[in-house]
């Protein structure tokens, strides 16, 4: 059964350049609706949805039982500024965030830290998208 999204969230998900094999990281997943919609588009790919809120992660896990069981999705409780790949975890090639203050300009100092974490957890050609465009805008992932 397809995930029901608000028109705004549907536009964001539809604008993401998701391929069936993509490895996607969602920062600030909340209850996980966007992550579940992305998981529906994956075959051999995977989406990891992270959030700093234990309540949000619990909601996302409960709503995504099917996607998690299929291996296309996982959820992790972690603040974006503390995110690191788990041992053996492959890097991600697509990252997105919706209403995340560290990435939408509301908290620039935290944003610098989150961008460094994203850089370490992604492939060299990975892309990062945040809301606030039409409907998305792309941010540059800093490479040292």
Q: Is residue 2 very low, low, confident or very high in pLDDT (cuts 50, 70, 90)?
A: confident
CB 42 within 8 A of CB 22: yes
- Percent of all residues in the chain with a pLDDT value above 90, rounded to a whole number: 93
* Domains of the chain in sequence order: 7-139 (3.40.50.150)
Give me the half-sphere count of Cα atoms (radius 13 Å) on the Cβ side of residue 94: 18
pLDDT, tens digit, 9 for 90 and up, residues 54-73: 999 999 999 999 999 999 99
Question: In Å, what is the CA distance from 136 to each residue of 45, 46, 54, 118, 132?
Answer: 22, 21, 27, 18, 6
For the segment 15-44, the average pLDDT, to the nearest whole number, is 97
| Average pLDDT over all residues of the chain | 96
**pTM across the whole model:** 0.96
CB 26 within 8 A of CB 34: yes
The whole-angstrom separation of Cα 58 and Cα 130 is 23
């Amino acid at each position: 059964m397809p995930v029901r999204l608000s028109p705004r969230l549907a536009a964001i998900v539809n604008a993401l350049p998701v391929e069936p094999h993509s490895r996607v990281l969602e920062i600030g997943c909340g209850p996980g609706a966007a992550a579940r919609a992305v998981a529906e588009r994956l075959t051999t790919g995977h989406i990891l949805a992270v959030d700093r809120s234990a309540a949000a992660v619990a909601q996302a896990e409960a709503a995504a039982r099917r996607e998690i069981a299929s291996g296309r999705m996982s959820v992790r409780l972690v603040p974006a500024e503390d995110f690191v790949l788990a041992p053996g975890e492959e890097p991600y090639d697509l990252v997105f965030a919706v209403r995340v203050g560290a990435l939408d300009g509301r908290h620039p100092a935290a944003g610098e830290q989150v961008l460094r974490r994203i850089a370490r957890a992604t492939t060299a050609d990975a892309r990062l998208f945040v809301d606030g465009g039409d409907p998305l805008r792309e941010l540059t992932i800093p490479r040292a």
